[in-house]
Amino acid sequence: MIVHLIAIGNNMPSWVKEGFDEYQSRLRNEVQLKMVEIPAQARKKNADISKILKEEGQKMLAAVPKGARIVGLDVVGKAVTTPELSQMMAGWLQGGTDIALLIGGPEGFSDDVKQSFQQSISLSKLTLPHPMVRILVAEQLFRAWSILHNHPYHRE
């Protein structure tokens, strides 16, 4: 299974790539993690945010591989624990399709993108910096995988 982490924003600081790469490399062949960056449009003083969201959303949906299950990472999504995420991962693996995890821009997602979600999960009620979310998601996917394989990384 390939998990495509599709995120608005590029040109991240080096610590983001290093953190993401660390957890990406820990995942085994059964689960591959790939990053897809969609450049964010400029948000000037009088920018039309709804137009920006729509255009970024179209690019984001175009980046979703055909047949992939679309999972939105959204503040209003279902809050899940790490063990619950591992059970989701088990289901995803059993389903045999790739996963597209979507991370929106500063204002979130357009309605078109939200309507494409087959699942929506929330990482936290806190507002998290988008660069950090990439690392957090990679770490949690590795942790979920480690639970499924009785790897000693996860301790309760």
126 is in an annotated binding site: yes
124 is in an annotated binding site: yes
* DSSP H helices in the chain: 14-26, 49-62, 82-95, 111-116, 130-148
Q: Where are the domains of the chain?
A: 1-38+50-147
Class of domain 1-38+50-147: alpha beta
Summarize the chain as % helix, strand, coil (round to 5): 40, 25, 35
Question: Residues 108, 119: contact at Cβ < 8 Å?
Answer: no
The neighbour count for residue 15, using CB atoms within 10 Å, is: 11
101 is in an annotated binding site: no
6 pLDDT more than 70:
yes
125 is in an annotated binding site: yes
Structure-token match 């960056």, residue found? 37
127 pLDDT more than 90:
no
Phi and psi at 119, nearest 5°, equal -150, 155
92 pLDDT more than 80:
yes
